Amino acid sequence: MLEALERLAPAVLRHLIAYGELLCDETGDALRQSRRRVVGYGVAVGAGALGIALGCLWAIAASWDGPNRLAVVGSLCATFIGIALVGAIYARAGIPSGRTPPFERLRAEWRADLRELARLDPSFSALPSQAPASAARSVRGN
């Protein structure tokens, strides 16, 4: 076992350093992809909320003295419940097709390294081929 550790230690250290670099690259890519969307959606949501609030205020004020004021308030309520449902369905839609999920390259490298370790030392073939994050989740029981 000690001989195998002497042979594998330099390779494991090189791979750990490479994992760190790959993790930094993947994190940077994920942040760059999402930063523009977050800012754009934030501006759109803020302006949209203000526009909707002012539109609702206008509709209620316009119907205040009329017989349809409760119908206006009820229809506004139903409209926003519908919008909330559509938003919840949209949020649960997941990753669009054609886009790779974050940290997919790291997952692929992890699997390739496990195969390489198993080739170098047969005792490593018993290791599960999970990615580091999923292995940590299974250890924590999540």
**Rg from Cα positions in the chain:** 27
- Is the pLDDT at 142 greater than 70, yes or no? no
Q: Which residue would you say has higher pLDDT here, 132 or 96?
A: 96
Output the CA angle 108-110-116, nearest 5 degrees.
105
pLDDT for position 19:
83
Q: What tens digit of pLDDT does each residue of 50-96 get?
A: 989 999 999 989 888 988 888 998 899 899 988 888 888 887 776 56
How far the first Cα of the chain sits from its last, in Å, is 32
Q: What tens digit of pLDDT does each residue of 90-114 get?
A: 877 765 667 677 778 888 888 888 8
Q: Which two structure tokens, joined as six digits, stand for 11?
A: 């390779």
pTM of the model as a whole: 0.44
pLDDT for position 96:
63
- Is the pLDDT at 127 greater than 60, yes or no? no
Angstrom distance (rounded) from CA 18 to CA 130: 18
Q: What tens digit of pLDDT does each residue of 113-126 get?
A: 888 877 877 776 66
- Is the pLDDT at 16 greater than 80, yes or no? yes
Residue-range domain boundaries for the chain: 2-100
Q: Which residue would you say has higher pLDDT here, 1 or 73?
A: 73
